[in-house]
Structure 1
Amino acid sequence: MAGCVYIITNQKRGTLYIGVTSNIERRIWEHREGITPGFASKYGCNRMVCHEEHDNIGTAIQRQKSLKRWYRKWKIEIIEGLNPD
């Protein structure tokens, strides 16, 4: 099963949330609608700013855990490199 790591935010250079899913369209819809309670809903994170697709969910989960340990500056550099707007 394929997996996807994504980063969402509430505004430019705002709060960042890093997640992983096997169905990116459904998951982003859930964030936008505020269906799932938790960190992203609490801070209003509903704008996807970048995502990475992986061949399997295990690789995606490893990448998510790795990104969560990164400094905020590094995460913003990735986002602005892939999505300058």
Structure 2
Amino acid sequence: MKTLGTHNYYVYILTNRNKTVLYTGVTNNLKDRLYFHRNPNSKNSFTKKYNCFFLVYLEHFQNIQEAIKREKQIKGYSRTKKETLINNLNPEWHFFNDQFE
């Protein structure tokens, strides 16, 4: 069991190369999750269908319940509100994948 305060959970937003699609998720292993978005087991996966595997937004949590709550909150946001989140953190919409792969 991990020591309290050593857990790492991430709420993230992915987009496609043209930045027309947004996908919100939560994970405890961002490196592996980005790999599986790019190389899914299913051809029917949302991220594969829309080539949506470029990381543009990220929030860190140490508590899974807080991370899940935040993921659901962001998923309920309008496209405009999600774009505002991204713009505040990453105004150029740079792809952060290299930092985690």
- The TM-score, its normalising length taken from structure 1, stands at 0.88
Count how many residue pairs are aligned between Structure 1 and Structure 2.
Answer: 84
More helix by share: 1
Indicate the percent of aligned positions where both proteins have the same amino acid.
39
2:9 paired residue number: 3
Q: 1:84 aligns to what SS in structure 2?
A: coil
Larger Rg computed on CA atoms: 2
**Unaligned 5+ residue runs, structure 2?**
1-6, 93-101
**Which residue identity does 1:71 align to in structure 2?**
S
C-alpha distance in 2, partners of 1:55/1:42? 31
C-alpha distance in 2, partners of 1:57/1:51? 15
Point out which structure has higher relative CO (alpha carbons under 8 A, 6+ apart). Answer: 1
- Per-residue CA distance 1:5-37 (angstroms, 9 max, x = gap): 0000003441000000000111112222x2243
| Superposition RMSD in Å | 1.4
- The TM-score, its normalising length taken from structure 2, stands at 0.75
